[in-house]
Amino acid sequence: MIETPYLLFLGDAPDMLATKVAIGIKDWRPDASVGQFRMEGCKADLGLPDMTIDQAIEAGAKTLVIGVANRGGVISASWKAVLLEALEKGMDIASGLHNLLKDEADLAAAAMMHGCTLFDVRVPLTEFPIANGKKRTGKRCLPVGTDCSVGKMYTGLAMEKEMHARGMKSTFRPTGQTGILITGGGIPLDAVVADFMAGSVEYLTPDNDADHWDLIEGQGSLFHVSYSGVTMALIHGGQPDALVLCHEPTRAHMRGLPDYQQPSLQKLRDVALTLARVANPACEVIGISVNTQHLSEAEADEYLAKVESEMGLPTVDPFRQGAGRLVDALAAC
Amino acid sequence: MIETPYLLFLGDAPDMLATKVAIGIKDWRPDASVGQFRMEGCKADLGLPDMTIDQAIEAGAKTLVIGVANRGGVISASWKAVLLEALEKGMDIASGLHNLLKDEADLAAAAMMHGCTLFDVRVPLTEFPIANGKKRTGKRCLPVGTDCSVGKMYTGLAMEKEMHARGMKSTFRPTGQTGILITGGGIPLDAVVADFMAGSVEYLTPDNDADHWDLIEGQGSLFHVSYSGVTMALIHGGQPDALVLCHEPTRAHMRGLPDYQQPSLQKLRDVALTLARVANPACEVIGISVNTQHLSEAEADEYLAKVESEMGLPTVDPFRQGAGRLVDALAAC
């Protein structure tokens, strides 16, 4: 587990979009960060206190989190002085970049010298078992999408927030870099070796109290040919009791695949449920989460009502309306 | 590519079963091996000429293939003298064992010293791209099973043999260790990192002549929760034009999963075809391959006739009857 509180490093971010990871941490774990570190020329601002390394340590920060991605996902040379200072003063560093912290000789040496840990959350740290398919105690919910990047992580985090507000037992279980940095732990499923994918999901969602819900972060889509194997492993390793269908209604084609169209929600429901029931015959689809960010509020309301009537399932945009109705459905499960 | 001809190393195999890999090579590539090497106490015999390393080299052998698996899949200390002699005399070594040749310091040093190559076919040697889903030229056939280990590799190899006998253009495309050792090349799909699985299958089955068939080696099963993600990546990366359903009718439960039952052939057909058509809308199921080794000939005939009538598809045991009817169906595709 990555130790909190964090100092969010925004570096020389050219715009807000480049700090997506930091925004995710601030939105979903507002108490996890003491402040932000911005270098000269940084065009992003999370509205957190600007801090030097010394000020952050004074405020209790344990880990500097690289909350910015530059072109190519590399560790910029211009960041090095700051990162080295953080290590020298005893902070850990966490990163989800493609280029690994531990492959930078100067950072690796400084971390060793000062007894600090470098967390490269793209790399699995554990050897996972092959999945055994045994029924586990506790309950699990998995969002599945008509496409990649349709709001599966957001849906899971929004449901967890609502469940905690209601005093329900639940844990968001990250399976991707951003989710891991937001919560401090999880499994970078897309970096796990094929044979161990489903086993890693079993490991991530162990036996639990009968009334506890794991909210597993979804990945890819059964209908996205590049990543469908990862989604399949989530469905069978996660043995979900409940699925939430996730959709973004304005896509012209599948993300990154110009020749492929999104499936209908009916088709996603039928295929995902058939496969999920292999591992858990009691699995049900309990609701639909639609990312309506590219629709006006009136269009969104109309679209959600239409889908709800067609599918006969609670249909919400958790960003606009909260995840209350999805949690109601889960509670009734 | 691993250079032929091979010397098949049977070591101190306690029985024939332990030499499954060598048997596969001998059965499917009878011209690939000059002989066998058996140590004292070896209880297996492929009926090939017994040879020393010197005799094998004299007969033209380029690669010593470890055709035996001992408990735990490790490289036995008692084998070392033979393996070192082979390297010293200029042979390459190929192995599908869990423990890697290249991790044995003495073997690695000898290989470097003598300019030989150690092929650990469990380890992918290439960095694969993420799948792009683009339609490729040529045709592809994929066997999919109701369970693991129901005869998918055997079916593909039997079809290739029949197609070559008929002068049809086809290539068996291995995705597992045994298949790679049999043919000298391929991709160990279960060892590929999740994000690149489908991309590795695209890489394995590139553009080809319009009348050329890739016969892709199947892995796992969509209904086997431990490995279904790997199967999914084969279906979407392979974009098959034709599926062959594979089944073993005497299993009490899914392999290694006592709480799971095999799906019906109807269910396998429906789920696999629905998913395959995401990548290739023209995909068809062209036949059924049943492993009837645990049935008498009369029982087998009766079972095959029953399935053929229920499913309306050519249904054969390629071991007992050859793959002719499956190839007829493929040719009509």
Asked if ipTM goes beyond 0.85, one says yes
Distance CA B259, CA B239 (A): 31
B158 vs A69: which has the higher pLDDT: B158
Report which residue type is found at A81: A
State which H helix or E strand residue A289 sits in: strand A284-290
* pLDDT of B325 above 90: yes
Instruction: From chain B, pick out residues whose CB is under 8 angstroms from the CB of A190.
Output: 193-195
Instruction: From chain B, pick out residues whose CB is under 8 angstroms from the CB of A192.
Output: 193-194
- pLDDT band at B185; cut points 50, 70, 90: very high
Residues A299 and A275 sit within 8 Å (Cβ to Cβ): no
Bridge-based pairing state of the strands B6-11 and A315-316 = unpaired
Interface of A with B (CB under 8 A): 130-135, 189-195, 197-199, 222-223, 225-233, 235-237, 239, 256-257, 259-260, 263, 271, 274-275, 278-279
CA B138 to chain centre: 21
Report which residue type is found at B322: G
Averaged pLDDT, B69-75: 75
Residues A237 and A135 sit within 8 Å (Cβ to Cβ): no
Pick A232's closest partner by Cβ from B132, B232, B257: B232
The pLDDT, as a whole number, for residue A187 is: 97
Distance CA B1, CA B188 (A): 13
The pLDDT, as a whole number, for residue A330 is: 97
The pLDDT, as a whole number, for residue B17 is: 86
- pLDDT band at B143; cut points 50, 70, 90: very high
Report the percent of chain B where pLDDT is more than 90: 93
Interface of B with A (CB under 8 A): 130-135, 189-195, 197-199, 222-223, 225-233, 235-237, 239, 256-257, 259-260, 263, 271, 274-275, 278-279
Instruction: From chain A, pick out residues whose CB is under 8 angstroms from the CB of B192.
Output: 193-194
C-alpha dist (Å) from residue A242 to A91, A215, A245, B18 = 40, 10, 10, 44
Averaged pLDDT, B54-83: 91
> Angle A297-311/A265-279 helices, nearest 10 degrees?
50
Helical segments of A89-141, H only = 105-114
- pLDDT band at B187; cut points 50, 70, 90: very high
Averaged pLDDT, B102-109: 96
Buried b (16+ CB within 10 A) or exposed e, B178-188: bbbbbbbebbb
C-alpha dist (Å) from residue A191 to A61, A98, A302, B137, B316 = 29, 11, 39, 30, 40
Report which residue type is found at A314: P
A214 vs B76: which has the higher pLDDT: A214
CA A296 to chain centre: 26
Query: Which of A190, A261, A278 to mutate: most B Cβ within 10 Å?
Result: A278
At B114-127, the pLDDT tens digits run 999 999 999 998 88
- pLDDT band at B169; cut points 50, 70, 90: very high
Averaged pLDDT, B278-292: 98
Neighbours of A275 (CB within 10 A): 24
At B260-272, the pLDDT tens digits run 999 999 999 999 9
Q: Which pLDDT tens digits describe chain A residue by residue (333 residues)?
A: 899 999 999 999 999 989 989 999 999 999 999 999 999 999 999 999 999 999 999 999 999 999 998 766 678 888 999 999 999 999 999 999 888 999 999 999 999 999 999 999 999 988 899 999 999 999 999 999 999 999 999 999 999 999 999 999 999 999 999 999 999 999 999 999 999 999 999 999 999 999 999 999 999 999 999 999 999 999 999 999 999 999 999 999 999 999 999 999 999 999 999 999 999 999 999 999 999 999 999 999 999 999 999 999 999 999 999 999 999 999 998
